[in-house]
Chains A and B, each alone.
Chain A
Amino acid sequence: MNFCTLFSHMIRLRNLTKAYDGRRILRGLDLHVETGEFIFLTGASGAGKSTLLKLLYANEQPSEGQVWVAGERVDLLSRNKLAHLRRKIGVIFQDFKLLRHKTVLENITFVLRFHGLTSRDAHRRAYQVLKRLGLHHRQSALPEVLSGGEQQRVAIARALAYQPRLILADEPTGNLDADLAGELLSLLCDINYQGATVLVATHDHSLLEALPARTLVLHQGRIEYDGSWPP
């Protein structure tokens, strides 16, 4: 495989298969995502959207095939190299994955400090992102006192704060009202405009209709449709 070809792709899947206990969730996926693309990934529940995202940030290992992200084959990376790759990826988790003992601000600055920012810079940047998501007044609250929508926005803020090259969002608007969902989409568009690749897994068709973008439809572990929405 040509190195330049690999590098221009932010994501490349080759014959990707994932099975749990013999049950195939993903079946021989082939996919290329160019750097700077905005992509929706949709499909019914159980179609394999979340599994695909987990394979992309190497929270799962493929049963067969290869996963390349930002020029690295993620299923073969050592723990430390994987940590460095994950710093290029901002993941918005469906279940938020916030640190319970840390405040909203600390949940974001904590990650930024490990990305090499000074305490002052980390606080400044975290505050800016929180302000943009309308959460700056809740910066000292612990996650457990926040509503589902607020926790989701903290998870989004954390993923965006370190300006990753790739954003993987798993149902990011699941707990947001229509206004906040629109605001989030606009934020993701801005980030995409600045050069980041964005992959949003959603089953919310209103989101797909709001933004004309490449859409992948997963059905029974296969890419059934790859093109603009509506099909």
Chain B
Amino acid sequence: MIAQAFREGSALLRRRAGVSFVLALSLAVPLSLAGFTASLGLWSGPLTTLESEKVVVRVLLHPRMDEAQRKQWLEDQRRTHPDWILSEVPKEILAERLRIWFPYLEDLLKGENAVELPPLVEVQAPRPEEVDALSDGPAVIAVGPKSSVHRALGRGAKTLVGLATMLSVVLLASAFILAATWIHLEVYRHAEEISIMRLVGVTESAIRSPFVVAAAVPGIGAGVASVLGTLYLVSSVEDVAIRFGLHPPVVPPWIVAIEISAGFLLSILAAVVTLVRHARSEEGE
């Protein structure tokens, strides 16, 4: 039975060698793109952790607060927000920090009219938006900007991973639809042959097996070709990554294994689903 299936399947392939070759190439395109996007997703995966990195927010306290009041205020904040790290900026670098983070205080800092500088506290917080609320209290004059390049990079990487995952799934689905369409056309071409086989007592599994074999071979070919495609695409973005001082992306061995098995399994699944649907539609008639 298995030998018969292989003989019939290879006969089908011989008769449709050109079409099978084109199918293998067509399947390889979405598969290699899926492998490429998955590799990119994996590569940018570690960057997503940057999104949760704590951001330092500068908080300008009231200049009339004495040392005891400042200490008390810091204690209160540490108690209320245990995940925050608060530190007072030393007086030696206070002017410089104020100039960077609160440029509108420039006039207060220079010349003969220079006044006593307000104390500056740096707050490392996982959710910098929460620091904004401090400005509602009487102790705080202003809260500095909260932007972070790392957070932006992490957010971008997270978006890239999400998009890559979605795109990989869509590409795999399109590979499945492509294989199913091809098998559907082949079954349609052999409809008369299949109906004769049924009439002479050939079982459904025996009818399906040559088509499954004929689909599996271009499926494996597509898997191998897609790995080569993925390696080529990934190598083409290596230079760009290195130029930006990032580690170059790599294709992990399990993606290679998944691509080859996806080519094989998708084409087999497409063949089985199409043949079962064809048998059911004939039954309906």
Choose, from A6-14, A33-41, A107-115, A220-228, the stretch at the interface. A107-115
Tally inter-chain residue pairs, CB-CB below 8 A: 49
The 4 closest A-B pairs by CB, nearest first: A86-B201, A87-B201, A83-B203, A97-B196
Whether A114 pairs with B201 at a CB distance below 8 angstroms is yes
A115 touches B204 (CB 8 A): no
Docked CA distance A202–B199 (Å) = 21
CA distance A101 to B196 in the complex (A): 13
Using a CB-CB cutoff of 8 Å, which residues 166-210 of chain B contact chain A? 192-193, 196-204, 206
CB of B200 within 8 A of CB of A158, answer: yes
Q: Contact between A59 and B201 (Cβ–Cβ < 8 Å)?
A: no
- Which A residues lie at the B interface, using CB under 8 A? 57, 59, 79-80, 83-87, 89, 91, 93, 97-101, 111, 113-115, 158
CB distance from A34 to the nearest CB of B (A): 23
Q: Of B11, B199, B206, B283, which is within 8 A of A91 by CB?
A: B199
For the A-B complex with A83-B203, A111-B202 known, give 10 more contacts whose Cβ atoms are closer than 8 Å.
A79-B283, A80-B203, A85-B201, A89-B201, A98-B196, A100-B192, A111-B201, A114-B1, A114-B4, A114-B203
Chain B residues with CB under 8 Å of A79's CB are: 203-204, 279, 283
**B residues less than 8 Å from A84 (CB atoms):** 201, 203
Q: Are A83 and B15 in contact (CB under 8 A)?
A: no
Given the complex of chains A and B, what is the CA–CA distance between A89 and B200 in angstroms? 8
Known contacts A113-B4, A114-B4; A83 and B198 CB within 8 A of each other: yes
Chain B positions within 8 Å of A57 at CB level? 199
Q: Report Cα–Cα, A79/B199, bound state, in Å.
A: 11
User: Smallest CB–CB gap between B5 and chain A, Å?
Assistant: 10
Q: How far is the CA of A99 from the CA of B202 in the complex (A)?
A: 13
Q: Are A115 and B201 CB-contacts (below 8 A) given A99-B196, A101-B15, A101-B193? A: yes
Give A199 to B201 CA distance when docked, in angstroms: 18
Bound CA–CA A5/B206 (angstroms): 34
- The residue among B193, B203, B204 with the most chain A CB atoms within 10 A of its own CB is B203
**Cβ-defined partner of A114 (8 Å) among B15, B193, B199, B202:** B202
Q: How far, in whole Å, are A161 and B198 apart by their CA atoms in the complex?
A: 17
| CB-based nearest A residue for B202 | A114
**Within the assembled complex, what's the spacing in Å between the Cα atoms of A158 and B202?**
13
Q: Which residue of A lies closest to B11 (CB)?
A: A101
Closest to A164 in B: B201
Tell me the minimal C-beta distance from A37 to chain B in angstroms.
22
Query: Can you identify 17 A-B contacts, CB atoms within 8 angstroms?
Result: A79-B283, A83-B203, A83-B204, A84-B203, A89-B201, A97-B196, A99-B193, A101-B11, A101-B15, A101-B193, A111-B201, A111-B202, A114-B4, A114-B200, A114-B201, A114-B202, A114-B206
Question: Of B11, B15, B201, B203, which is in contact with the most chain A CB atoms at under 10 Å from its CB?
Answer: B201
Among A59, A80, A114, A115, residue most surrounded by chain B Cβ atoms (within 10 Å): A114
In Å, the complex CA distance between A57 and B198 comes to 11
Cα-based distance from A89 to B201 in the complex (angstroms):
8
Cα distance A111–B279 in the bound complex, in angstroms? 20
